[in-house]
Amino acid sequence: AQSVTQLDSHVSVSEGTPVLLRCNYSSSYSPSLFWYVQHPNKGLQLLLKYTSAATLVKGINGFEAEFKKSETSFHLTKPSAHMSDAAEYFCVVSVPGGSYIPTFGRGTSLIVHP
Amino acid sequence: EAGVAQSPRYKIIEKRQSVAFWCNPISGHATLYWYQQILGQGPKLLIQFQNNGVVDDSQLPKDRFSAERLKGVDSTLKIQPAKLEDSAVYLCASRSAGGADTQYFGPGTRLTVL
């Protein structure tokens, strides 16, 4: 069985300050982990993914995430927030190969203040 | 490369009516997913196809929902009859069978049941 927990439903930051969105996972096997972003009335867009290569993963728009097996975490970070980063962010876990049935977290709404 | 196409983008119906959604995945993608995303929640997987066969439909309410993927390309999702609680965004995603597990999402269909 697999599950994912996004620890914050809302995160509020000021423009230019760091962003941290937290995600913990549970998986019986080595997982693949993803972060997706969803802007209002838009489809889900892949930010980055971890698939058992380097533990520090760099994605689009300056985001990165670090896979920490000992902490079962895959937190998303960005050094400096932009207004355009305001959106809903989803952490996703899956066991790779075969049927690949992904499990989504509940989402974290990122609010960026000017 | 063209993305995942969905239609219609918006649909408003009365309860007990029927509705159908259409999805055209990325060309060559063997795996297709339908998700239901209720406001304020993460996407919930309804059904997963591999070519034209069903891999997982454990969370599909089969008394009212049905889906098919004829010829292993386009797919339709139908609700008959609709209930108020079916109001949600219905997302379609596709994945290449040989890909590194990345799903590509369509823009979604927003259903409102009155």
In contact, B100 and A49? CB cutoff 8 Å? yes
Q: What is the pLDDT of residue B51?
A: 87
CATH number of the domain that A37 lies in?
A: 2.60.40.10
- Measured between CA atoms, how close is B55 to chain A, in angstroms? 7
Query: Domains in chain B, start-ordered, CATH in brackets?
Result: 5-98+106-110 (2.60.40.10)
Per-residue pLDDT tens digits for B25-42: 999 898 999 999 998 888
| Count of domains for chain A | 1
Interface of A with B (CB under 8 A): 32, 34, 36, 42-46, 49, 51, 90, 94, 96, 99-102, 104-107
Q: What pLDDT does A98 receive?
A: 55
Asked if residue A74 lies in contact with residue A91, where contact means CB atoms within 8 angstroms, the answer is yes
The closest alpha carbon to B110, from B57, B38, B4, B26, belongs to B38
Greater pLDDT, B16 or B52? B16
- The burial of A62, by beta-carbon neighbours within 10 Å (0-12 exposed, 13-18 middle, 19 or more buried), is given as middle
B→A contacts (Cβ < 8 Å), by residue, are 4, 31, 40-45, 48, 50, 55-56, 91, 93, 95, 100-108
Instruction: Say yes or no for a CB contact (<8 Å) between B91 and A43.
Output: yes
Q: Among residues of chain B, what percentage have pLDDT more than 90? A: 74
Least confident of A70-74, B12-16, B30-34, B93-97: B93-97
Host domain of residue A99 = 2-113
Q: What percent of chain A has pLDDT over 70?
A: 96
B88/chain A closest Cα distance in angstroms: 12
Query: Taking residues A38-56, what's their average pLDDT?
Result: 87
